[in-house]
């Protein structure tokens, strides 16, 4: 009986591959047999992300900007590139910074789907996984623009899933919560400028699991959604948040 979680013979394209979640996902997909195309703007970090992958991954690093339409090269797709933007209240947020966040987090996701969908629809199969956030499900102070961009990602995901009804192409997204990462550290520091971030205990009080999530735990959900085990899953937003949004 075939192992439906395996990805042997499949090509997985991961944007934002140099980030903590992107790197963890690349490694897990490669372990499960996928061939890897890793995409990021940061050339050195990207090289490090694929350095120790197994030879079977045939890993290819592509330095590209997901906001440039002519640089998006896709087969099977984890649409993961994203930035947190400035950590400021709305009245202090510049229009330029607002547009930059939307360019990366929304336009980048749109371009990924725009280019991969024709390929997948032609072959009548495929799985697209977008990275949203629990900030796309609930409001959060000082990151209103990031939150708005992730609400948009969930909307794009659900709409694309409907457009792909009956085609064999699935579109889902993951919504990470408080993940141990550079982005979380930046947000916490931005909310406490000039001061120490809040103590760990105060942060964990908001999480039923009483700990931060790990990038590998997000990667596990992405790998599941990319596999045949998720063949009946489309249009879903999977929270990976230790129960943070359960209330």
Who wins on pLDDT, 222 or 181? 222
Q: CB under 8 Å to 142, separation ≥6 — which residues?
A: 87, 88, 89, 187, 190, 191
Whole-model pTM? 0.88
Question: End-to-end alpha-carbon separation of the chain, Å?
Answer: 40
Integer-rounded Cα Rg, in Å, for the chain is 18
- The Cα–Cα gap between 17 and 34 comes to 15
Q: What is the DSSP string of 140-172?
A: -TT-HHHHHHHHHHHHHHHHHHHHTTTTTEEEE
CA-CA distance, 169 to 125, in Å (whole number)? 5
- Is the predicted pLDDT of residue 247 greater than 80, yes or no? no
Residue corresponding to tokens 């809040």: 198
The Cα–Cα gap between 175 and 240 comes to: 6
Residue 122 neighbours by CB distance under 10 Å: 11
Query: Taking CA 136 as the corner, what is the angle to CA 144 and CA 166, rounded to the nearest 5 degrees?
Result: 145
d(CA 188, CA 32): 34
Give pLDDT, residue 201: 73
* pLDDT tens digits along 28-49: 999 999 999 999 988 888 999 8
Residue pLDDT, tens place only, 203-213: 888 899 999 99
* Catalytic residue list: 146
At residue 187, the pLDDT reads: 84
Residue 223 clears pLDDT 60, i.e. is over it: yes
What residue segments make up the domains of the chain, in order of their start? 11-180+214-240
Contact (Cβ atoms closer than 8 angstroms) between residue 74 and residue 54: no
Write down the mean pLDDT value for the chain.
90
Domain 11-180+214-240 CATH superfamily: NAD(P)-binding Rossmann-like Domain (3.40.50.720)
The number of CA neighbours under 13 Å toward the Cβ of 181 is 22
Secondary structure class of 130 (helix, strand, coil):
strand
Q: What pLDDT, on a 0 to 100 scale, did the predictor assign at position 196?
A: 67
């Amino acid at each position: 009986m075939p192992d439906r979680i395996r990805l042997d013979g499949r090509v997985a394209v991961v944007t934002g591959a140099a980030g903590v979640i992107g790197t963890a996902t690349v490694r897990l997909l490669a372990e499960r047999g996928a061939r890897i195309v890793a995409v990021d703007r940061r050339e050195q970090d990207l090289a490090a992300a694929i350095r120790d992958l197994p030879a079977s991954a045939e890993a290819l690093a592509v330095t590209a900007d997901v906001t440039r339409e002519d640089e998006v090269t896709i087969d099977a797709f984890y649409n993961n590139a994203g930035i947190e933007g400035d950590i400021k209240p709305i009245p202090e947020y510049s229009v330029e910074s607002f547009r930059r966040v939307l360019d990366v987090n929304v336009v980048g996701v749109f371009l990924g789907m725009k280019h991969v969908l024709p390929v997948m629809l032609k072959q009548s199969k495929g799985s697209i996984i977008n990275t949203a956030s629990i900030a796309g499900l609930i409001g959060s102070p000082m990151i209103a623009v990031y939150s708005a961009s992730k609400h948009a990602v969930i909307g794009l995901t659900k709409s694309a899933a409907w457009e792909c009804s009956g085609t064999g192409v699935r579109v889902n997204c993951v919504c990470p919560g408080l993940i141990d990462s550079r982005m979380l550290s930046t947000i916490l520091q931005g909310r406490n400028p000039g001061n120490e971030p809040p103590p760990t205990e105060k942060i964990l009080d908001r999480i039923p699991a009483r700990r931060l999530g790990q990038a590998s735990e997000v990667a596990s959900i992405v790998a599941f959604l990319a596999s045949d085990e998720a063949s009946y899953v489309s249009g879903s937003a999977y929270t990976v948040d230790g129960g943070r949004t359960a209330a």
